[in-house]
Amino acid sequence: MRPYIKATIFLTALLFAATGLAEETPEAKPDTAENSDADAPEAAEEKPEENDSEKQTESAAEQNASLDVWAEQVIYEGDTFTCTGNVIITRGKARIECDEVEGVIVEAERTDSETGEKKTERTIKGLVATGSPIVMTTDAQKATCLRAEYDVNTATITLTGSEEQRPTLVDGERHMTGDPITYDIEKNKWVIKQPRIRIPIEDDKLPDILK
């Protein structure tokens, strides 16, 4: 259990930097009654209440911005790292379960939103998940593939396979295959190239369709 926790903490720190939250996010504290009372200033009572729609929008934005990876083991070497053992990746509504994830760390320049200063920091360029098969789920869809590549900059996940085992997307009763299949996390949108779609049709409706 301990290696699993260490892997989670290590990757969470790196991935927060990759999504531009490293300097803007305060140090995380356990959400307990003890520290919540101590950290809440009296002036907070004067803050105007947000309506439900504003809270939902803010919550959705925070969820989409947060990228988390859990693994039983992390091997960190130079500018690369490898996660193995029941790996789970989550961001927004997307969840990926796989055997192994590889990541590359690069130096990137970004502008501080408050000061406007340009800073160079080490950040994650992307993640590549492999396994047989990889399972990806959202609220209503489930996809399987042999390889899933997550691009941090575009917030997209690209699913690929082979001629024998193309990526598959299941949405309700619709079964679709394509290569590649791309999912946009922020737009919650799927794009299928070279699609093959199977839609079940009730037997009593076939005569009307074949007319």
Per-domain residue ranges of the chain: 2-26+63-198
Q: Which residue has the higher pLDDT, 53 or 83?
A: 83
- Domain 2-26+63-198 indexed as CATH 2.60.450.10: yes
Average pLDDT across the chain, whole number: 75
Give the pLDDT band of residue 52 (cuts 50, 70, 90): low
Both tokens of 103, joined, read 């990541």
Give 169 or 208, the one with higher predicted confidence.
Answer: 169
- Span 67-84, average pLDDT: 90
Residue 61 has pLDDT above 70, yes or no: no
* Cβ atoms of residues 12 and 68 within 8 Å: yes
Q: Which long-range contacts (CB under 8 A, 24 or more apart) does 28-35 make?
A: none
Record the tokens describing residue 65, joined without a space: 């911005």
Average pLDDT over residues 62-84: 82
The pLDDT confidence band at residue 36, using thresholds 50, 70 and 90, is: very low
- SS3 breakdown of the chain: % helix, strand, coil, rounded to 5? 25, 45, 30
Instruction: Identify the DSSP state of 194.
Output: S
pLDDT at 58 over 90: no
Between 40 and 169, the more confident residue is 169
List pLDDT tens digits, range 135-155. 999 988 999 999 999 998 898
**pLDDT category, 102, cuts 50, 70, 90?**
very high
Tokens 């997550």 — which residue? Answer: 150
If you average pLDDT over residues 170-187, what whole number do you get? 92
Burial 169-208 (b: 16+ CB within 10 A, else e): beeeeeebbbbbbbbebeebebebeeeeeeeeeeeeeeee
Q: Say what the alpha-carbon torsion angle 142, 66, 68, 130 is, to the nearest 10 degrees.
A: 50
- Residue pair 91/62 in contact by the 8 Å Cβ criterion: no
Give 10-22 pLDDT, tens digit per residue. Answer: 555 555 555 544 4
Q: At CB < 8 A and 24+ separation, what contacts does 80-89 make?
A: 80/104, 80/105, 81/11, 81/14, 81/105, 83/7, 83/11, 87/129, 89/127, 89/129, 89/150
Instruction: Identify the band that residue 40 occupies on the pLDDT scale cut at 50, 70 and 90.
Output: very low
